[in-house]
Chain A
Amino acid sequence: MCDCCNESNTKKQVIEVDPQYSPMEGTIVKTKIMTETEKFFEIKLEGGKELGHMPGQFVQFSLFGIGEAPISISSSPTKEDKSTFEVVVRKAGVFTSAMHKLEEDDKIGVRGPFGKPFPVDDLKGNDLIFVAGGLGLVPLRSLINFVIDKRRDFGSVDILLGCKAPKDRLFTDEAEGWNKLTDINHACTVDQSDPEWKGNVGVITTLIPGVDINVNRTYAVVVGPPIMYKFVISELLKKGMPEKQIILSLERRMKCGLGKCGHCQINDKYVCQDGPTFTYEELKGLEEAL
């Protein structure tokens, strides 16, 4: 018997694990520059497989050598072509800049969908107010189109949009389509006007007083930058909106999307699993939420 060699080495074994962190293959089938910093992508999964998401969920995009980033799904699962989904990416740093360089036929890794969707079953039968600030329209668009495709399940629909300047508006063609639908009210405001702009000027809260709200039967779905939430929520509460009928979507740093890595945590909630959508009632006691 020999004492010199490390016997235990022989028992080491490399075994396959469930590829939980391995992305699916996505192919970019369409891109569109939307603004100076935002780009639209339509993505098809391998074999035209359906993503199987609901409005409010997100995916983790992956580019090997660079990393991953959480991005909201902007298309509705009711979209006619179920073999693709759509996203809008703002150039914010390393990953998002690399993604901006991608064009049609390029490949991208996709993990997900992740997160708790907007509570569409609760929204059914109620009037809806959608409030979107800036990039907040991107996740909200999934729900707006979902509602439009199932229009008869919902009451009146008001869409309030706000952005910094007219040139920052997203989905303007589509928004005009909403405008033409007589059964949907659509208002837009910009913080700073330009010579061609004929619409409202002012922060998004200025649009709220103009909306007729039946507080018993209305849900407000609000998505925008952190700063917007406080003001919009206080305006909605002033109108008498119950806290459980105000729905928000939060953004936090995320790595795993699986409720493990801890990055997305606010107090005892994990945004990647308990959110990103929450009712205001769920969030109001959490100091780190808003």
Chain B
Amino acid sequence: MRYVYLEKSDLDKMIQHLKKEHRVVAPVAKENLFVFADVENAEEITLEYLPTILPPKKYFFPPKQVLGEFTMGETKMSSTTVEVEPTVIFAAHTCDIDGMECLHTVFRNDPVDPYYKKIEKEIAVIGYECMFPCDECATCVTMDTHVPKAGYDAMMTDAGDKFIIHINSKKGDALISNNPIFKEVESGTAKEEIKKLRAAKLKKFDVKLKASYSELPGIFADSYDSDVWEGVGKRCVSCGNCTAVCPTCYCFDMYDEVKLDISGGERKRVWDSCQLEEFAEVAGNENFREERSSRQRHRYYRKFDYPVKKYNKFFCTGCGRCTRACMAEISLVETVNDITKENKNV
């Protein structure tokens, strides 16, 4: 276990150090929101940020991805390749790191996704621990994603005039070394410091869900027929924003893009949304999730119920993006609290 200090004034030196061999992407302010984007220096980065519009999943699982190239009339793809680049995702929040873990679980599950596997190998994650709660939409405390656990190569914690960096993997070890800006610190000392900082931090974080982590699966198990879904379904406009911004949504569609001279083209996959009406439609106009309420319920169950059964893991990181992005002001906090209330009254 290795810990180092980095003087805050050396942050740019750290970015330049990382950039020697990596593309560095980090949270950047854009109008009054934030996005993950390529950065050249530390000045472009905003360390205290509300969850970015899109989560960093876009680097692992791009919104549009070429599965292979083809020549018209052939049956096999002429090439199946993926473009990779050694990349550091810098200053990812713990909730987003949890989201990456969810995607890893899915795409590493048999049959392993070959594109994801290659890309993932090239990505290093340097986390940045949030010291302040985001806003009313975030439920990270209940989802237990507000403190670092796993899934990062290095984690930075703000300690006043310096950062404490916890190195958590071989990759992280290689990244955070060979530079005098990283000052080795005895791990007991660093841990003690972090412990104090974290105790102060946790006082600022409050719980917004009425159900606890361990109560959630039981509540969802009993809420399939709840009227709450009707209400949510009536307001939802099926725009699909909530799934696009969600760090753990990974549904996709496949289509062929043909070149203008129709000599060939590319078969692609693109992010899809279970909130769109035709998502589950089959021939004969049969649709097993025709109602908006059943599609919304499906989304919630894909966060709090189905993956718990399949992977023993919640697929909600509590980031709050779905609530912030919803056109109809549907709030995850309200929805989950509504079914909890119903459930606890019974």
User: Of the candidates A17, A25, A93, which one forms a contact with B114 in the assembled complex, judged by CB atoms under 8 Å apart?
Assistant: A17
CB of A260 within 8 A of CB of B107, answer yes
CB of A262 within 8 A of CB of B250, answer yes
Compute how far the CA of A17 lies from the CA of B253 in the bound complex, rounded to whole angstroms. 20
Does chain A have a CB within 8 A of B205?
no
Does chain A have a CB within 8 A of B68?
yes
A11 cross-chain contacts in B, Cβ below 8 A: 21-23, 85-86
Does chain B have a CB within 8 A of A261?
yes
Chain B's closest residue to A288 (CB) is B288
Number of interface residues of A (CB under 8 A): 51
Compute how far the CA of A113 lies from the CA of B17 in the bound complex, rounded to whole angstroms. 49
Compute how far the CA of A173 lies from the CA of B155 in the bound complex, rounded to whole angstroms. 70
Stretch in contact with the other chain, from A61-69, A160-168, A204-212, A214-222:
A61-69
Does chain A have a CB within 8 A of B54?
no
Cross-chain pair count, CB within 8 angstroms: 162
1/0 per residue, CB under 8 A from A, across B248-278: the answer is 0011111110100010110101001010000
CB of B284 within 8 A of CB of A225, answer yes
- State how many angstroms separate the Cβ of A219 from the closest Cβ of chain B: 26
Compute how far the CA of A262 lies from the CA of B301 in the bound complex, rounded to whole angstroms. 13
- State how many angstroms separate the Cβ of A278 from the closest Cβ of chain B: 14
CB of A262 within 8 A of CB of B272, answer yes
Interface residues of A in 53-87 (CB under 8 A from B): 62, 64-68
Compute how far the CA of A145 lies from the CA of B282 in the bound complex, rounded to whole angstroms. 28
Interface residues of B in 279-324 (CB under 8 A from A): 279-284, 286, 288-289, 294, 298, 301-302, 305-306, 309-310
Number of interface residues of B (CB under 8 A): 66
CB of A20 within 8 A of CB of B111, answer yes
A263 cross-chain contacts in B, Cβ below 8 A: 251, 253, 272, 279-280
With known contacts A15-B84, A17-B118, A64–B282 Cβ distance under 8 A? no
1/0 per residue, CB under 8 A from B, across A244-275: the answer is 00000001110110111111011110000000
Question: What are the 8 closest A-B residue pairs judged by CB atoms, nearest first?
Answer: A262-B251, A268-B306, A22-B77, A8-B23, A18-B114, A109-B75, A92-B283, A17-B114
User: Of the candidates B265, B281, B294, which one forms a contact with A288 in the assembled complex, judged by CB atoms under 8 Å apart?
Assistant: B294
User: Of the candidates A26, A225, A261, which one forms a contact with B254 in the assembled complex, judged by CB atoms under 8 Å apart?
Assistant: A261
- State how many angstroms separate the Cβ of B18 from the closest Cβ of chain A: 10
Chain A residues in the interface with B (C-beta under 8 A): 7-8, 11-26, 62, 64-68, 90, 92-93, 107-110, 225-226, 251-253, 255-256, 258-263, 265-268, 287-289
CB of B82 within 8 A of CB of A259, answer no
CB of A25 within 8 A of CB of B82, answer no
CB of B267 within 8 A of CB of A64, answer yes
- Among the interface residues B86, B115, B256, B279, which one has the most CB atoms of the partner chain A within 10 A? B256
CB of B274 within 8 A of CB of A67, answer no
B279 cross-chain contacts in A, Cβ below 8 A: 253, 262-263
CB of A15 within 8 A of CB of B82, answer yes
